[in-house]
Each structure stands twice: as C-alpha cells, then as structure tokens.
Chain A
Amino acid sequence: DAGVTQSPTHLIKTRGQHVTLRCSPISGHKSVSWYQQVLGQGPQFIFQYYEKEERGRGNFPDRFSARQFPNYSSELNVNALLLGDSALYLCASSDTNTGELFFGEGSRLTVL
C-alpha cells in the first residue's frame, strides 16, 4: 500500500511569493495534519483536517491556510513568504481508531 505522499519534495521561492504544498493520505484515512519542522527542532503542528473540516490549528499566522478535498487529499498554502518559513513541511494522515499518525517524507521549502 502507498504511504503518505507529498509534492513537491523540494522547492525554492523568494520572499513575498506564495506556495502550495500537496498531500495524499493513506487510502482510507480521513484525517490529515500538517507540521512545520525547522532545522534542528521537532515538528510543530499547523493544522488538522477531518472530513474536510478544520479540527485544529496551531500557533501560525493567517498567511498559512489549508483545505481538504472530497478524496481526503489536502493542500497547505502559505502566502507572503518570509525567510523564516524555510522548513520541512510534513503531512500526516491518521487512522483515528488507533491514534497512530503516518507521516510523509515532507516538502522542503527554501525561501531566499
């Protein structure tokens, strides 16, 4: 079975641009979460979606937004990019019966 897939794997943007990151969950998983991991730190929670509804939001500015589609895939959008947005963005899907999260390999964003 395919795991959580994310695209693109790497991308470079400049300050002020916007970016869209995509995530496909494991088949059958209805919950998708997004995390930001800055170099040397643990991942930080950004959003969680379940059945297309936002169920949780971390301490991130309104420049960060997300949505979940009917097929449970998800997009994370970041507007007006700052240098500090450079990070690994991780998507995780979960089987809410077990509480276990399955992470993708991430999208590494570099903002110049």
Chain B
Amino acid sequence: DAKTTQPNSMESNEEEPVHLPCNHSTISGTDYIHWYRQLPSQGPEYVIHGLTSNVNNRMASLAIAEDRKSSTLILHRATLRDAAVYYCILKGISNFGNEKLTFGTGTRLTIIP
C-alpha cells in the first residue's frame, strides 16, 4: 500500500482556518485520497475524499496538488468539536474487494479556545 506522511500534531485557534498537510509521493494513478477523523472515544468518521480535483463538502475542503504527491485538508473555521486525530489515507477503486483502509498514526489536532 502506498504510504502517507502527516505531522504528528498541530494546534489551531478556535474560529481560525486549519490546514492539515499530507504527503503521498508514491501515490498511484488510481488511488483516491481519503480523510477520516477520530474524535475521542469514537470510531473514525469519514471527512472527504478526492482523486484529482479539489473537493468541497459541508465538513471541509480538500486541496490536491497538481502532481498528486501531496494534499491539504482545510477546515474553514475550526471549532472545539474539530479536535480529533485526522488520518490521510490512500485507497484504490472500490470494487467490492478493496474496502481496506490503511491507517497511519495521523495528525492530532488541538483547538485552542
């Protein structure tokens, strides 16, 4: 499985934007970039995913570099409820036999009130 590299931890002030980086230099052409987050004492939660173009949803935005070797998850206005471990994961095409997610250690995001 292609590997991702994320900072171990980040801090951000409440109500400020947060940019969480992820490097994935060995990404293949068919790998999607997925982001999940895990709040304390909960299972991981899907945040967003993309292939080549930048993506937006109600939770976040995903900015993907032109060469796809890196991406950035953007939380536009962090709240205390966004404090979690954020995982950047590469995943192949879903074809009923490939639902496996390979989690790293993620980035622990702390929000400062």
* Chain A residues within 8 Å of B, Cβ to Cβ: 4, 31, 33, 35, 41-45, 48, 50-51, 55-56, 58, 90, 92, 94, 96-106
B97, B103, B105, B106: which contacts A55 (Cβ < 8 A)? B97
Q: Please report the total number of B residues contacting A with Cβ < 8 Å.
A: 27
B43, B100, B105, B106: which contacts A58 (Cβ < 8 A)? B100
B97, B99, B102, B105: which contacts A101 (Cβ < 8 A)? B99
Q: Is the interface of A mostly helix, strand, loop or mixed?
A: strand
List the count of A-B residue pairs having beta carbons below 8 Å apart.
74
Closest to B49 in A: A99
- Please state if A101 and B46 are interface contacts (CB–CB under 8 Å): yes
What are 14 contact pairs spanning A and B, CB under 8 A?
A35-B101, A41-B105, A43-B44, A48-B99, A48-B100, A55-B98, A99-B32, A99-B49, A101-B44, A101-B46, A102-B46, A104-B43, A105-B42, A105-B43
Please report the C-alpha to C-alpha distance between residue A99 and residue B34 in the assembled complex, in whole angstroms: 9
- Please state if A42 and B103 are interface contacts (CB–CB under 8 Å): yes
B106 CB, nearest partner CB in chain A, Å: 6
